[in-house]
Each structure stands twice: as structure tokens, then as C-alpha cells.
Structure 1
Amino acid sequence: MTIKRLLLILLLNLLGLALFFSWYLPAHHGLWFTVDKTIFYWFNQRMATDPALLWLVAVTNFRAFDGVSLLAMGALYLHFWRRETPQGRRRMFAIGITMLITAVVLNQLGHQIPVSHPSPTKYFPNVNHVTKLTGIPTKDASADSFPGDHGMMLIIFSCFMLRYFTRKSFALALVIVVVFALPRVMIGAHWFTDIAVGSLSIVLVGMSWWLLTPASDYLVNWLYRNLPGKYKPAKSSF
């Protein structure tokens, strides 16, 4: 690993820690709480008077809608899959398994942070709940919303697209992050900072050491060589 790469990793770690502690250290989270409260009430109050917004938020937070985000990520991945050779597809499969393992492990590590708080719809009294307004069983509240699991998974996908594919695919993945993470904030199941601080700071620290070092490549290459199926690479005779 080069000095330049190490400095980049340290910079990303510094950014992640600075972001987290800018929220964690101030009393009542300082300015971040004002941002969170403003965003929450902007959407929560308008949902009671704007049927279009209400139903948009309801549909995009219906539990089955999570499958649409998987389809969006799958479609982007499929774009590269179709252009690959059989050996390249085997490697892409190894990258996908590595991505899943990474998401599960990093999510579990993120929940070891000693922070726990309810979602805005549970924190503030006398607020609108989309489930009650529409009758649709939506995810509009959470007993512990920090960090944002859904947002973290989407951001991890974006990081893998940048590391193993193209900058354009990374830009498209970021659009997917915004489109599918924003509804959780709009409905009040998450604070804005659950994603913008919690998910992002964890990813900045964890993914920098995983993707900017040979660590992820080791796992991808091991899976590429050892997963069952066709097109296994020939074993070296040395």
C-alpha cells in the first residue's frame, strides 16, 4: 500500500470521526438537532394537507417497496454482468458475495456504537403517522433508528461500484441512495442524521480500510478461486 493511499484512508477516517463527533458531542446534538427537527416537521406537517405527498411517502415506505431498491441495484449490476465473459461473471459473483458479507459485518459493527434513540415519530408528541392516515402498513416508526441500516447498505453498494466498476456507475448508485434512503426520512422512521451522520461516518471509516487496502481483493480472489461452479481458475502448479 502506497503512502498516498494510506493518507487517503486516514483522511477518510478523520472525516468520518469528525462527522460523527460533530453530532455526538454537542448537548442535544447541537445544530444537527435543529436540522433534523426542521426536516421532520417540513414533511410531517405537509403530509396532512397534501394527499399526493402522503401517498408517495406511504407507497415508498411500504415494506415490499424495499424490493424495488434491490431491483434498482440489481439492474445496475446486471448492466456490467451482461458485458462480461463467463470468467468475468464468476468474478462479479465473488464481488457480490463480498459486498453482502461486508454489509452484514459493517452493519453489526455499527450497532456496537453506544448510541440509541427512537425515530422522530416516536420522539415528538402529537405527530402524523402515515400508517394511521392511509391504513397502509408502512415503516413509519422505529424504537432505535441509529444508524440507518437501509441507508448504510445503499452507501456500501455505491462504494463497491466505485471500487470495482466505474465512476459513472458510482454516480448512478448515489442516485439510488438518495431515491431509496430519502423516503425513510420523509416518513419519520429515521432522522436525517441517522443516515447523513450515522450511516455515512461508519462507511467512511470502515470501507476505507476494507476497499482501499488489499483486504477486499483477498476475499474476492479467494471466493473466485473456491466457490463451486464452472470456470474456476486453473490452480497454479507452483
Structure 2
Amino acid sequence: MNTVRLPLILVLNALGLALFFSWYLPPEHGYWFVIDSTLFHFFNHALIKSHAFLLLVAVTNNRVFDGISLLAMGSLFFCYWRKESVTGRRHRVIMGIVMLFCAVIINQLGHLIPESHVSPTLYFTDIYRVSDLLHFPTKDASKDSFPGDHGLMLLIFTGFMWRYFGKKAFGLAVIIFLIFIMPRMMIGAHWFTDIFVGSLSVVLVCLPWVLLTSISDRLIILLDCYLPKRLKTNH
């Protein structure tokens, strides 16, 4: 059973709140806006400098690529799941269910933040949009990009990998997070701060109360009691 580590939880919460308010309180978001604007325009100008980059950005923001991100997360989970005993596999599957449940709840809590804005492609004028440069189905804009849902889900997955599979799984999950969140920023569907302030601050405030207390373990035990035993998987 996981024990409560209150000091660490409070430190992580404080970091999350400090990160959010460092962005939220300054007029026009202070230096964060400089970072956001600089990164957006760098990638936006690159769209017309390299057709290969334009194609890459378009493809990696197609809905099919979202499926590849799910496949990557599922593959990492599977690599650890298959090493378990039958009982261990059942436990890990239930952990995955708990992770999805927590992701939905935390995502809803994140959208209670009294702040929303459009993506940079809708904020700036005289910029390039991939949907105008290519006749290819891709997501290059959002009317409500803060906090980033995609980044939030990937960060929650990363946290669960650390808690239940260890540091190596955490490192691989971080790589997956970076690979699949970068296209959203490169195309201009999200600001840098949508992910590294919005999503990250929500995770730092909410997720420690799940993973650094007994909450996630207790949910797993509870579901283990009530879910059909046929959930057990084959060798």
C-alpha cells in the first residue's frame, strides 16, 4: 500500500501553483508571451521555408497520428504488462482503467481554470496556416487551447508509468510525451504555455494526490473486487 507523502505532495502543488500564477498574474502574461510568440513565429516561418517540414507538421497533426500516440503508449504499457504473472496482468489492466478514470476527472478539473484563449493561429494575423498551404486534413487551430488536453493526457500517462513501472518507464514515457506534443506547437494549434504551464500545472496540483497517496492503490483494489474475474488475461 502506498503511504502518504504529504511534504512532497505540497511541494509539487506549490510548484504547480507558482508556475500557473507566474503566467496568469503578469499583464499580457509577461515574459511567457515572449516565449510563446517567439516559438510560434519560428515554426510558422519554417512552414514556407521547407516543404518537407510543412508535410511533416501536416501529417503529425492528422487524426491518424493521434492513433499512433495511443499505440505508442499502449506499446510501452504492453512491454511491462507482458512480464507480469496472470495476477499481475490483471492488476496492471485495472491500473490502466484507474488511469483513464483519473485522466477524465483531472481533465474536467483543468477546464475549471478561469482562463481560456484561442490558439496562436487564430490570435495572430498575417501568418501561415497549414490548412491553407496544403489540401490535407490536419488540425492547425483551436478556439480553446488552454490547458492542452492532449498534453494533459500524456502527462498523466507519464505519471502513472513512473508510479507503477519505475524510472525507466518514466523516461520512455517522457520521450513519448515530447514526441507527440511537439507537433501541436509546431503547427500553432497550441501555445507553448498551453502545455508547459497549463497542462503541467494542473498535473502538478492534481496528480500527486492520486499517486503519492493510497488513492490509486485503493481504487485498484476496489475494482479488483468488483470486476469480473474473466478480466484475467492469458499467459
1:119 aligns with 2:80: no
Deviation at 1:84, TM superposition (A): 1.0
Match of 1:209 in 2: 209
Indicate conservation of the 8 Å contact 1:86/1:231, yes or no.
no
1:49 aligns with 2:42: no
For 2:81, the aligned partner's letter is: W
Deviation at 1:225, TM superposition (A): 1.9
Q: Secondary structure at the match of 1:230?
A: helix
Deviation at 1:201, TM superposition (A): 0.2
CA distance in 2, matches of 1:188, 1:60: 12
Match of 1:236 in 2: none
Deviation at 1:35, TM superposition (A): 0.1
Structure 1: 5+ residue stretches without partners: 233-238
Moved over 6 A (4+): none
CA distance in 2, matches of 1:154, 1:80: 18
Deviation at 1:2, TM superposition (A): 6.4
Deviation at 1:231, TM superposition (A): 7.1
Q: Quick one: percent identity of the two aligned structures?
A: 59
So what's the TM-score if we normalise by structure 1? Answer: 0.95
Within 5 Å, which residues of 2 pair with 1:97-136?
97-136=97-136
1:144 aligns with 2:135: no
So what's the TM-score if we normalise by structure 2? Answer: 0.96
Indicate conservation of the 8 Å contact 1:159/1:170, yes or no.
yes
Q: Secondary structure at the match of 1:135?
A: coil
Deviation at 1:229, TM superposition (A): 3.0
Match of 1:6 in 2: 6
CA distance in 2, matches of 1:10, 1:148: 24
Within 5 Å, which residues of 2 pair with 1:29-178?
29-178=29-178
For 2:25, the aligned partner's letter is: L
CA distance in 2, matches of 1:67, 1:231: 24
CA distance in 1, matches of 2:113, 2:176: 26
Deviation at 1:64, TM superposition (A): 1.3
Q: Secondary structure at the match of 2:15?
A: helix
CA distance in 2, matches of 1:92, 1:35: 39
CA, structure 1 residues 29+231, in 2 after alignment: closer, same or farther (shift >3 Å)? closer
For 1:143, the aligned partner's letter is: K
RMSD: 1.3
